[in-house]
Amino acid sequence: MPKLLHLQVACAENRVIGRKGQLPWRIPEDLQFFHDQTAGQTVVLGRVCFETWPRVLLDGRQPVVITRNPALASDQVRVAGSLTAALAIAETLPGEIHICGGERIYGETLALNRPMRLHLTLVHADVPGDTYFPEWRHLAWRETSRRESADANFRYTFYTLERP
Ligand SMILES: NC(=O)c1ccc[n+]([C@@H]2O[C@H](COP(=O)([O-])OP(=O)(O)OC[C@H]3O[C@@H](n4cnc5c(N)ncnc54)[C@H](OP(=O)(O)O)[C@@H]3O)[C@@H](O)[C@H]2O)c1
């Protein structure tokens, strides 16, 4: 039985997740949530996400980076040429599997027919950007938790959504 896939994303109402290779906002509570969720787990992510996440190798995370460049591999970093290959590696590692983006990797993951849990921070604003989370609202999710929060700049909601 394959492991449950956890998807981690913070997304604006207009589905923007990134701008110029960075997050388009600074929301400390969400960043802390993301770090807590992924600590000690296997994180599957694209090359840009890997290169722009300073703490990826801390707190026991085991990255599996999707890239066409095998030279990125090291003692701490596994690489794969596709999502399928990355998931095959992730299954062999201890802990949970967390899919951390970017855009194409989220799209390919949402298209898989297997159980998944979406940890979605929905930022209640339309934000300028160049990278998007694919449309997810039409998929058959079951909401298992919701918590609203805010800081000085944004209102946002932490959702947990599940698909069988
Ligand atoms: N708000 C959020 O929750 C969130 C989450 C994740 C990312 N982001 C933002 O999104 C942006 C980064 O995402 P991105 O979509 O631009 O980049 P990305 O997916 O992190 O990286 C793109 C690279 O990954 C490799 N890749 C991706 N999909 C692949 C596939 N299916 N097969 C083979 N290789 C693949 C390629 O690497 P090579 O070129 O090395 O071959 C590609 O150039 C940043 O702005 C980041 O801050 C935000």
| Binding-site residues, ligand 1, Cβ < 6 A | 9-10, 17-18, 21-23, 45-49, 52, 66-69, 81-83, 100-105, 108, 131
Q: Which residue has the tokens 């802990």?
A: 95
Confidence of residue 15 (pLDDT cuts 50, 70, 90): very high
Instruction: For each of the domains in the chain, give its residue range(s) and CATH number, in order of start.
Output: 5-163 (3.40.430.10)
**Max Cα separation, the chain?**
44
pLDDT cut 90: percent of the chain above it: 99
Q: How far is the CA of 78 from the centre of ligand 1 (A)?
A: 16
The CB-side HSE value for 71 (13 A sphere, CA atoms) comes to 1
- In this structure, which amino acid lies at residue 128? P
pTM summary value: 0.98
Ligand 1 centroid to 150 CA: how many Å?
27
Ligand 1 mean position, distance from CA 65 (Å): 10
Which of 3, 1, 10 lies closest to 95, judged by CA?
Answer: 3
- Burial of 159 (C-beta count, 10 Å sphere; 0-12/13-18/19+): middle
Q: Please, which pLDDT band fits residue 127 given cuts at 50, 70 and 90?
A: very high
Mean pLDDT, rounded, for 113-118: 97
Question: From the alpha carbon of 17, which atom of ligand 1 is closest?
Answer: 1
Section 20-44 average pLDDT? 98
> What per-residue confidence (pLDDT) applies to 27?
98
CA of 112 to the centre of ligand 1 (A): 18
pLDDT in tens, 77-108: 999 999 999 999 999 999 999 999 999 999 99
- Cβ contact 95:40 at 8 Å: yes
Name the nearest CA neighbour of 72 among 57, 58, 60, 59.
57
The CA distance from 25 to 123, in Å, is 10
Distance from chain centroid for Cα 41: 12
Query: Two tokens at 143?
Result: 């909401």
Query: Over the range 108-138, which residues count as b (16 or more CB within 10 Å of their CB) and which as e?
Result: bbbeeeeebbbbbbbbeeebebebbbbebee
DSSP state of 48: H
